[in-house]
Structure 1
């Protein structure tokens, strides 16, 4: 994105580009194992998750220290407010490892979008969101089939209480909604939020740099406004980061709850 400036000799403003989500290869270029900058960020996020929980849980104490307390608060939040609240204690604890893994994977992968030197979310390219959506989808199918395979598919495709002639219309729609559209909506909701957040942050801070260091005269003052907007949106993006992790884990749990419902 370019913005031409009428002042002679001033380089044009160059905004964010979608090509930032497709950086050149760093290792193994042209192979099935090609690794680019975003893949390295994902590896770093995965290592951070493992270290976070290993350090936080390796020496559990009855009276926890500060770091252990933070980890336990995060775990309790997912357990109480998502898993057990929707699934009950028995099923909540059964699916808790999955829900916990999804929540913290999305949270940390999202958080790399505001970490200096990384500045892009590991979930802003389709691979990770799609993988997590497939995991949620498989958990949904597994929960329903484990409970009652025949009733699960019958009630998913033929909702009870509907006149039989209407199934000609309803059944294809239920199939598309339940078994096709659902994983794609999970994927796109997460990915698009992270893409938009990254583009806006880059726009604000790139504009700040352009106004401060490129544009001459009193016009530089506009950079203070773009800088303020950049910091304000960074705070807003932190909220979105947590909210998207919560929504993804919550919807995964809701799908499992639907699969385990009595009518199935």
Structure 2
């Protein structure tokens, strides 16, 4: 794709944005030989932590019995994490210790996703595979740790040996269950959010660069009109992307709760 874009650019045609252009160069490339350093992606992570801390601290600073609109939103967000992600998934008996964790996961992913809809920032953090792998790895380690803590060595058997299955099928099913639960699960958990965020980011870039190219043409009003239509058409795409950002944060946190519930009640399956 990149070679085609370069060829089109050399011929004076439209050069579509490439995946490599979705992320800016590192701000502090302290490991330049590895192509790594402190970049915009890491900056977004830090900003998300600060933004979450500021928003909820500011919203509940008065703790009024009759809440303001901002306090109502903050309390509603906490209630969503507590009830929908915690109590409804983990159950009345187990959910309370996990509410802070699920609350953090949901709002951390949500704020990082919504950065893609904010002008000048305009980059969802989890459109970068490294960020998605990192947070999915945290969830995976938590799931594994809780499973072995609660069930000991039996957890490995509970996750790989389906109950009620004929013994002659076990040599086939055990490797499949192991791959599904211990390897494929964290990959799908991360790639789902990364793919959706990256796709939405590229669509917005493509619409913007295409409209700019058409409007800048000096070949009549037709191209400029088409460019304006693309800009107008990108408005509903923009709001659709916001919906997907919120939905993906919910799906990621929901799966996190389901995985934790699976480790807690693994012997019940």
TM-score (norm 1): 0.91
What stretches of structure 1 of length at least 5 have no aligned partner?
none
Q: Which residue of 1 aligns with 2:246?
A: 242
2:52 and 2:262 mapped to 1: Cα distance?
A: 29
Q: For this pair of structures, how many residues does the alignment match?
A: 260
Q: Which residue of 2 aligns with 1:83?
A: 86
Decide which of 221, 224, 238 is 1:218's aligned counterpart.
Answer: 221
CA RMSD for the aligned pairs?
2.1
Which whole-Å deviations, capped at 9, do the CAs of 1:5-43 have from their partners, x for residues lacking one? 9xxxx9422221111244222224436872122222332
- Whether the aligned pair in 2 keeps the contact of 1:129 and 1:191 (CA below 8 Å) is yes
What stretches of structure 2 of length at least 5 have no aligned partner?
none
Shift of 1:175: 0.7
Q: Which residue of 2 aligns with 1:209?
A: 212
- Whether the aligned pair in 1 keeps the contact of 2:139 and 2:256 (CA below 8 Å) is yes
Q: Which residue of 1 aligns with 2:264?
A: 260
- State the SS of the aligned residue for 2:50: helix
Shift of 1:45: 2.2
Q: Which residue of 1 aligns with 2:160?
A: 157
Q: Does 1:36 align with 2:34?
A: no
1:61 and 1:189 mapped to 2: Cα distance?
A: 40
TM-score (norm 2): 0.89
Q: Which residue of 2 aligns with 1:25?
A: 26
2:208 and 2:71 mapped to 1: Cα distance?
A: 36
2:182 and 2:131 mapped to 1: Cα distance?
A: 20
Task: Using the TM superposition, name which of 126-135 and 138-147 deviates more.
Answer: 138-147
Q: Which residue of 1 aligns with 2:150?
A: 147
